[in-house]
Amino acid sequence: MRQLVEYPDRDMMMLDLADTLAGELADCLRRHESASFCVPGGTTPGPIFDVLSEQALDWKRVAVFLNDERWVGEDNPRSNTRLLKERLIVSKASEAKLIPLYTPSPEPEPVMEELAAAFDGHLPISVLVLGMGADMHTASLFPGADRLADALASDAPILMPMRADAAVEPRVTLTAPVLNGALSKHIVIFGDEKRAALERAAHLNAMEAPIRAVWSDAVVHWAK
């Protein structure tokens, strides 16, 4: 079962977690030629990115990619890639290599293979951070999403397009086997609503609560 770490406040959590993640990446770089760092988008991780981007790591040996992306261009404030470029791949981390989850195309389907090919040599994920919505989705694995069962299957491809009523636009997401292959896994959530959702998920199956499909061996970081 997963481990839960509670922090006195959000600032403390951000600083502490950024430190832990930097330590894990540094450790990986000591033992291997390169490391891969997979992170969520959305509203939660920005402050962690701010701290991490100032950490002295050999960032040019780190491949950074998102858990998932909304199918919008970087000029759209909802673009997770935009968040990465503005807050993580800056300052000391500006030399990190971004593996994109978006390329201009009206729909994601025609470019899935092209995007997935860029992951060659970057899996398994060295360090994974996941977010979670109050509806218990993680990455773009939404309850009720059109291809959820396929994305949770053990033979799922690396990347899949995903559509769900709760998602404003089409999405692309890393699938459960890729996320579960991570060597180190962290889930980061804020607030009582998400804490209650996480507890509710324990009584549901992965189709109802997709976070369940990827939470084994994860450390959950929570602050009010």
Ligand X SMILES: O=C1O[C@H](COP(=O)(O)O)[C@@H](O)[C@H](O)[C@H]1O
Q: Burial code of 78-93, b = ≥16 C-beta within 10 A, e = fewer?
A: ebbbbbbeebbbeeeb
Q: Is 41 in the site for ligand X (CB under 6 A)?
A: yes
Dist. CA 85–CA 94, nearest whole Å:
9
**Contact region for ligand X (CB under 6 A) — 89-97, 100-108, 129-137, 145-153?**
129-137
What is the residue type of 82?
Answer: R
Taking the complex as a whole, the smallest distance from the CB of residue 197 to ligand X amounts, in Å, to: 10
Among residues 196, 110, 206, the alpha carbon closest in space to that of 159 is found at 110
Q: Looking at 42-50, 104-112, 176-184, 208-216, which segment touches ligand X (CB under 6 A)?
A: 42-50
Kindly indicate which of the ranges 49-57, 109-117, 130-138, 213-221 contains the residues binding ligand X, using the contact rule CB under 6 A.
130-138
Nearest to 190 by CA among 9, 56, 1: 9
Query: By CB under 6 A, is residue 143 in contact with ligand X?
Result: no
Contact between 36 and ligand X by CB under 6 A: the answer reads no
Q: Write down the least CB distance from residue 132 to ligand X, Å.
A: 6
What is the nearest approach in angstroms of ligand X to the Cβ of residue 206?
16
> Residue 107 has what DSSP assignment?
S
- Select the residue interacting with ligand X from 10, 20, 27, 42 (CB under 6 A): 42
Coil, helix or strand at residue 92? helix
Report helix, strand or coil for 46: helix
The pattern of x and - marking residues 55 through 84 that bind ligand X according to CB under 6 A reads ------------xx-----------x----
- What is the smallest separation between the CB atom of 79 and ligand X, expressed in angstroms? 10
CA torsion through residues 223, 26, 100, 116, sign: negative
Residue selected from 17, 22, 25, 40 as contacting ligand X according to rule CB under 6 A: 40
Per CB under 6 A, the segment of 4-12, 30-38, 46-54, 133-141 that binds ligand X is 133-141
Residue 131 in contact with ligand X, rule: CB under 6 A: yes
| CA–CA separation, 120 and 99 (whole Å) | 10
Cβ-proximal residues to 13 (8 Å cutoff; 6+ apart), any chain: 7, 188, 190, 221, 222, 223
Select from 79, 83, 45, 87 the least CA-distant residue to 172: 79
Q: Which residues bind ligand X (CB under 6 A)?
A: 40-44, 67-68, 80, 131-133, 139-140
